[in-house]
């Protein structure tokens, strides 16, 4: 998006502000959709990346289904207009009660441990189709917190437990219609993906009733210039070919699912903040902005790099700054960044903030969570109001002590 347009949105709605460019989301959606040929591709948007109900609705209009990790996300999806059957419920370490709730809603259930699968089988036998999440133990992912496939990971049913898994499925006559892997976020290259696929194709031989295989997500996007990203086009080409062969071998046309979050929404997002203060210390020049780790946690939580620009004064002399938040904790957005000269009240844009930005925001320090705006074809839509004092107080109880 143009700096001018972003600055004017910041003026109109105030800061801090999340802005999402729907045209960029459409570009990413179409790129993924177009990369696969001759296969029955289904895209299930991973709601947790950016779960605003208007974004969910927008994704549905593109033709997406939904991948949810909690029952509350499923309710948001249904509210946004999804058919329950188009929602894949992929939780981790939830109770059987939440699984039962999901079955009652009519979601497709993805089970990621044998204990719950046994309880599921005991209750439903073959009456409710389900998917199982396998862990192929492929080490991938940009950061140990977001890689899910390694041997120490809590996710999925280990490929090494296949015998046990099949025993449980046979004993209860469980109807497994889908196999799933998700090896983590920020997987570098399609080679890793393809290794995972070979493992799942082999495992599939023991599952005669499959209707789909879900290859998860983890597509890497560029956070800084020159970052290696997933080559979706070449992945699409290679995986389509391999998947077609697999379907021919089985004599059945299965669906190929993906559940991207970051790939679809990350680059569409701009997080806008105002400069409160320029603070010069003996060691550095800080740019203090009107937000912090409470609104964008990724730099602090994952050491994520987000590029930062001064969009109010883009063509002045560059200087070196460290951009920090207003939280009473060290919440650094970027250290030693070259920014076009920053003045108090300038608007700063933090890029690539569409995924795991607002959805991980909190009220820490009792700050209001930001507003969110979606821009489509040059028109801006407010999709979430900025919070107010009432929102902070809503569930708090002021006790009358004796
Ligand atoms: C988080 C998650 C995703 C989305 O991952 P991205 O890296 O955002 O694409 C997909 N599937 C599952 C099961 C997830 O937990």
Determine whether the shortest distance from the Cβ of 373 to ligand 1 is under 6 A.
no
pLDDT digit string, tens, across residues 327-336: 999 999 999 9
Does 352 have pLDDT greater than 70? yes
* pTM exceeds 0.85, yes or no: yes
Does 156 have pLDDT greater than 70? yes
Give the least confident one: 137-146, 149-158, 202-211, 372-381. 137-146
Q: How far apart are CA 364 and CA 367, in angstroms?
A: 6
pLDDT at position 145: 57
Domains and CATH numbers, the chain: 22-262 (3.20.20.10), 266-393 (2.40.37.10)
Determine whether the shortest distance from the Cβ of 337 to ligand 1 is under 6 A.
no
For residue 398, count other CB atoms closer than 10 A to its CB.
Answer: 6
Does 247 have pLDDT greater than 90? yes
Determine whether the shortest distance from the Cβ of 69 to ligand 1 is under 6 A.
yes
In 22-137, DSSP assigns E strands to: 40-46, 65-68, 87-89, 108-111, 130-135
Does 193 have pLDDT greater than 90? no
Burial (CB count within 10 angstroms: exposed 0-12, middle 13-18, buried 19+), residue 136: buried
> Measured in angstroms, how far is the CA atom of residue 48 from the centroid of ligand 1?
8
Chain centre to alpha carbon of residue 238:
24
pLDDT at position 105: 98
Q: What is the mean pLDDT of residues 85-101?
A: 96
Q: Which atom of ligand 1 is nearest to the CA of 260?
A: 9
**What percentage of residues in the chain have a pLDDT greater than 90?**
87
pLDDT at position 381: 98
Does 141 have pLDDT greater than 70? no
The mean of the pLDDT values for the chain is 94
The alpha-helical segments, DSSP class H, found in 109-231 are 114-124, 162-172, 190-204
pLDDT digit string, tens, across residues 213-238: 999 988 888 888 888 888 899 999 99
Tokens of 140: 């991938």
pLDDT at position 147: 61
Name the residue of 136, 182, 214 to mutate for ligand 1: max ligand atoms within 8 A of Cβ. 182
pLDDT digit string, tens, across residues 310-351: 999 999 999 999 999 999 999 999 999 999 999 999 999 999
Does 82 have pLDDT greater than 80? yes
Tokens of 200: 């799942």
pLDDT at position 228: 83
Q: What is the mean pLDDT of residues 145-160?
A: 77
Q: Which residue has the tokens 């060691």?
A: 283
> Measured in angstroms, how far is the CA atom of residue 59 from the centroid of ligand 1?
15
**Sign of the four-CA dihedral 72, 54, 61, 40:** negative
242 annotated to a ligand binding site: no
Nearest one of 293, 299, 310, 375 to 349, comparing CA atoms = 310
Task: Tell me which of 224 and 180 has the higher pLDDT.
Answer: 180
């Amino acid at each position: 998006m143009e700096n001018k347009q972003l600055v004017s949105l910041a003026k109109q709605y105030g800061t801090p502000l999340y802005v999402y460019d729907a045209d960029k989301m459409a570009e990413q959606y179409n790129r993924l959709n177009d990369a696969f040929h001759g296969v029955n591709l289904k895209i299930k948007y991973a709601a947790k990346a950016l779960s605003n109900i208007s974004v969910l609705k927008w994704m549905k209009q593109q033709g997406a289904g939904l991948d949810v990790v909690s029952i509350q996300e499923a309710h948001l999806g249904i509210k946004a207009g999804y058919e329950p059957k188009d929602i894949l419920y992929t939780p981790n370490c939830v109770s059987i009660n939440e699984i039962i709730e999901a079955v009652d809603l009519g979601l497709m259930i993805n089970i990621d441990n044998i204990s719950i699968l046994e309880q599921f089988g005991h209750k439903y036998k073959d009456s409710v189709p389900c998917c199982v999440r396998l862990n192929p133990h492929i080490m991938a992912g940009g950061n140990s917190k977001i890689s899910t496939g390694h041997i120490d990971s809590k996710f999925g049913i280990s490929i090494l437990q296949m015998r046990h898994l099949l025993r449980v499925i046979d004993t209860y006559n469980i109807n497994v219609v889908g196999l799933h892997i998700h090896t983590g976020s920020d997987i570098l290259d399609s080679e890793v993906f393809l290794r995972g696929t070979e493992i799942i194709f082999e495992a599939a031989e023991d599952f005669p009733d499959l209707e789909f295989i879900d290859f998860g997500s983890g597509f890497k996007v560029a956070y800084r210039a020159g970052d290696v990203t997933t080559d979706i086009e070449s992945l699409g080409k290679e995986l389509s070919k391999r998947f077609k062969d697999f379907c021919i071998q089985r004599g059945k046309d299965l669906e190929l699912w993906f559940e991207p979050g970051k790939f679809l929404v990350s680059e569409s997002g701009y997080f806008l903040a105002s400069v409160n203060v320029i603070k010069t210390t003996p060691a550095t020049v800080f740019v203090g902005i009107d937000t912090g780790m409470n609104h964008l946690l990724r730099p602090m939580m994952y050491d994520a790099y987000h590029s930062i620009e001064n969009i109010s004064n883009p063509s002045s002399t560059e200087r070196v700054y460290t951009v920090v938040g207003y939280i009473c904790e060290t919440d650094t957005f970027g250290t030693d960044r070259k920014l076009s000269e920053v003045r108090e009240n300038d608007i700063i844009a933090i890029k690539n903030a569409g995924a795991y930005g607002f959805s991980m925001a909190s009220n820490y320090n009792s700050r209001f969570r930001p507003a969110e705006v979606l821009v489509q074809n040059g028109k801006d839509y407010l999709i979430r109001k900025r919070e107010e004092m009432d929102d902070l107080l809503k569930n708090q109880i002021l006790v009358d002590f004796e």
